Structure 1
Amino acid sequence: MTGDAWSGMVPVDDTALAVTDTGRAGPPVLYLNGQFATQGYWRRTIAELGTGWRHITYDERARGKKSGLSADYSFEAAVRDVDAVLDARGVERALLVGWSYGAFVAAHRASRYPERTLGAVLVDGAQPYDWLTDELKERIRTSFRRLGRFAFLLRPTGLVPRMTPEEMAASNIELGEIARASELGPVLDAITVPTRYVVASGASLGSHGDEQEIIRSSLPGVTERNANIGISAKVPSTHGSILRKDAPAIARAVREVAAAARDGA
């Protein structure tokens, strides 16, 4: 299905997701947001790639201003939502671009369903490392409890998800479990489509010291084990600023993956 630009709601499970599709005839690119981010974060990458691509964005459950609440905010639900969006828009195969949490979703989706995936760009996420500790779990819960005191003021803007502090903390802790080398490593090793990382530098929100750089140190092992995966660029931006400051590097990685997919077709 290609044609005119479209935006609307896509039903899935007990909720509906706000989706935007440029409807152009170029290769379909599906953008997967950070854990509590919105589709608006991708506007610079989309502008860098231009009109030769079919850009599809959406807000996950309870994110943004329109996507509905749900009884299920699990990672598996996030992976299922990819199919719901692509099926609703009539897209059989898409190039997946995910940032942070969205990179984990893209990696799992590419690993499980290569027949529906042109390739993947993983933006400062999906790095296998055992970073979740009992101390960090409590730090996560404390941070989200503090956020909950004023989150209601920001929810109408779409900048904060319409989830409880407990739900947000549970989602973040679940991500730590999924990121463990024993869990994520086999997922990455099984990827058979062209995949490229774009890696940030420095800290991320909630990390201390060089924690984030230690996590990123796992990537050479990933690329050594799987020739389909490479590192397109390491950029000076931090985890939180990479979409805003280094959209050109992300766009270059998308082009690399699309070219590799064409060469391997």
Structure 2
Amino acid sequence: MTASATSPRTGMLPVDDTALYLTDTRGPGRPVVYLNGSYADHRPWQPVIAELGAGWRHITYDERARGRSRRSADYSFEACVRDIDAVLAATGVDRPLLVGWSYGAALAAHWADRNPDRVVGVVAVDGAIPYGLTGEEGRERIRRLFRRMRLLLPLVRPLGKAARMTADQHADINIEANEINAAIAPVLDRVTCPVRYVLATGASLGGGQEEMELMRAALDPVLARNPDIRVSAKVPSNHSHILRKDFRAVAEAVRQTAAADDQRTP
């Protein structure tokens, strides 16, 4: 991935036993690192990136076995947290603004909690909410869902909506993510950087309108306890379509987060 100091950078980043497809617009703008949904590649961020424009440094990457990235023996949440460190080291970014959608929002919150002096802020797009399907009943519900989708997954993979994994591996990632989200409230309580949420209001795949409203309401106690965490916008789209239909609200949350950090910096 050779490039000049300001030219865009695209290529494969070796990490552990895999390699991640990385893009970096470079330049002097404030660096924004985009963290994808559980099985998505980097492409859904393009409307947000276009809306923010060239005044920012946009860094995207495909997680393990997603998009153009290679397979791995480790698809755990902790491996994904380590991948953030690898991306930052490769790009030379010291203080990123992390923007995460769904699974990526939980990654952003955990990384910010562990690195309070190294993060500008977090934009959480319909994720990092203290709610999840747990216990054997929840795990079996997730497994059934992905068993039903097993023939569909290879068809949507070229669209960046599934990983190069088996249906069981997709389910394992979702099960772990639900457990992490169900236990994320203490992480959010500790976060000291500006955090701005953009929340969808519609139903979602695997969750009806009532269940999704219950999930998002689980964020309210965190908002009451931590003044650094706010809801930037509630938008009419659903979980799957939020980046495509409400990219302007996400971009505005990025601007708000950066402005909040500027106000805190002496």
Q: Scaled by the length of structure 1, what TM-score is found?
A: 0.95
Question: Structure 2 residue aligned with 1:119, among 113, 118, 121?
Answer: 121
Question: Structure 2 residue aligned with 1:80, among 79, 82, 87?
Answer: 82
Counterpart of 1:38 in structure 2 is: 41
Counterpart of 2:66 in structure 1 is: 63
Question: Structure 1 stretches of 5 or more lacking a match?
Answer: none
Counterpart of 1:7 in structure 2 is: 10
Instruction: Kindly state the Cα deviation for residue 71 of structure 1 after the two structures are TM-superposed.
Output: 0.5
Instruction: Kindly state the Cα deviation for residue 3 of structure 1 after the two structures are TM-superposed.
Output: 1.0
For residues 130 and 148 of structure 1, what CA distance do their matches in structure 2 show? Answer: 22
- Confirm or deny that 1:48 pairs with 2:54: no
For residues 33-90 of structure 1, give each alpha carbon's deviation from its aligned partner in whole angstroms, at most 9, with x where no partner exists. 00011100000000110110000001000001x2010010001111111010111011
Q: Scaled by the length of structure 2, what TM-score is found?
A: 0.94
SS at match of 2:117: helix
Aligned length in residues? 262
Q: Which amino acid aligns with 1:234?
A: K
Counterpart of 2:252 in structure 1 is: 252
Question: Structure 2 residue aligned with 1:19, among 16, 19, 22?
Answer: 22
The answer to whether the 8 A contact 2:39-2:160 is kept is no
Instruction: Kindly state the Cα deviation for residue 256 of structure 1 after the two structures are TM-superposed.
Output: 0.5
Counterpart of 2:202 in structure 1 is: 202
Instruction: Kindly state the Cα deviation for residue 166 of structure 1 after the two structures are TM-superposed.
Output: 1.2
For residues 159-196 of structure 1, give each alpha carbon's deviation from its aligned partner in whole angstroms, at most 9, with x where no partner exists. 4210111111011000111111xx21110011011111
Instruction: Kindly state the Cα deviation for residue 149 of structure 1 after the two structures are TM-superposed.
Output: 2.6
The answer to whether the 8 A contact 1:2-1:25 is kept is no
SS at match of 1:230: strand
**25-34 or 145-154, larger mean C-alpha shift:** 145-154
Counterpart of 1:217 in structure 2 is: 217
Pairwise CA RMSD: 1.5
Q: Which amino acid aligns with 1:93?
A: R
**151-160 or 183-192, larger mean C-alpha shift:** 151-160
Instruction: Kindly state the Cα deviation for residue 240 of structure 1 after the two structures are TM-superposed.
Output: 0.9
The answer to whether the 8 A contact 1:96-1:121 is kept is yes
Identity of paired residues, percent?
56
Structure 2 CA distance for partners of 1:158 and 1:203, relative to 1, 3 Å? closer
**202-211 or 82-91, larger mean C-alpha shift:** 202-211
Q: Which amino acid aligns with 1:94?
A: P
Structure 2 CA distance for partners of 1:168 and 1:52, relative to 1, 3 Å? same
Q: Which amino acid aligns with 1:14?
A: D
Counterpart of 1:234 in structure 2 is: 234
**122-131 or 30-39, larger mean C-alpha shift:** 122-131
Counterpart of 2:111 in structure 1 is: 109
**41-50 or 143-152, larger mean C-alpha shift:** 143-152
> Runs of 4+ in structure 1 displaced over 4 angstroms?
none
For residues 172 and 30 of structure 1, what CA distance do their matches in structure 2 show? Answer: 22
Instruction: Kindly state the Cα deviation for residue 147 of structure 1 after the two structures are TM-superposed.
Output: 2.2
Q: Which amino acid aligns with 2:175?
A: I
Question: Structure 2 stretches of 5 or more lacking a match?
Answer: none
